[in-house]
A = this chain, B = another copy of it.
Amino acid sequence: MRILSLEPLTKQAFAPFGDVIEIDGSDWFPINQGSTRRYHRLGLVEAGGGLPGISMARGDAHRLPLEIRMLERHPLGSQAFIPCNGVACVVVVAPACVGDRPDESRVRAFLARGDQGVNYHRGTWHHPLTCLERAGDFILLDRIGAGDNCDEAMLSQSYLIQSVGAG
């Protein structure tokens, strides 16, 4: 079993895996005669061969310590989860390696605050939705259409996330 430390979720650190959808620190311009700030193009819905769908998700609460045993990916499109009720999440990702498996030497875990969403780019290996402490409601943006759009990989060992702010 390997210990994963929980990193803060920042646009820069998460860039190899996807977009961070958040207002904090994002550029904006005024619309609606100045009554609204538009934080423009924080991400795109990639839906090759399908349709860009708007769904919602309600995820169960999880508590640390957490054991990660599998990752999944969507080869045909992106997938975003953006919180609607301020629930934080653990976001676990890995780059792909030879054989199209997750590269287990580079698994990373991020703590997404309750005002941060993630948009996994097409094909990014990631753990399914994992809300911390409370059940969470999310906007779910992904490809809707025919074709097999979910690969799952069991990991060769377990990865343990022990606590927020520690290894």
Residues of A within 8 A of B (CB): 19, 21-23, 26, 28, 31-33, 35-45, 47, 51-60, 80, 82-86, 115, 117, 119, 128-129, 137, 139-141, 144
A45 is contacted by which of B19, B40, B52 (Cβ under 8 Å)? Answer: B52
Distance in Å from the Cβ of A80 to the closest Cβ of chain B? 6
Whether the pair B56, A39 counts as a contact (CB closer than 8 A) is yes
Whether the pair B56, A22 counts as a contact (CB closer than 8 A) is yes
Whether the pair A52, B44 counts as a contact (CB closer than 8 A) is yes
Instruction: Tell me, in angstroms, the Cα distance from A10 to B22 when the chains sit together.
Output: 28
Distance in Å from the Cβ of A154 to the closest Cβ of chain B? 13
Distance in Å from the Cβ of A164 to the closest Cβ of chain B? 20
Whether the pair B53, A41 counts as a contact (CB closer than 8 A) is yes
Q: 18 A-B contacts, Cβ less than 8 Å apart?
A: A21-B54, A31-B57, A32-B59, A33-B128, A35-B128, A36-B57, A36-B60, A39-B56, A39-B58, A41-B53, A42-B56, A44-B51, A52-B52, A54-B80, A82-B84, A83-B84, A84-B84, A84-B86
Instruction: Tell me, in angstroms, the Cα distance from A79 to B55 when the chains sit together.
Output: 15
Whether the pair B54, A23 counts as a contact (CB closer than 8 A) is no
Distance in Å from the Cβ of A58 to the closest Cβ of chain B? 5
Name the residue of chain B whose CB is nearest to the CB of A43: B54
What 10 A-B pairs are tightest by C-beta distance, nearest first? A52-B52, A32-B128, A43-B54, A39-B56, A45-B52, A37-B58, A35-B60, A36-B59, A40-B55, A36-B129
Whether the pair B52, A21 counts as a contact (CB closer than 8 A) is no
Contacts of A57 in B (CB 8 A): 31, 36-39
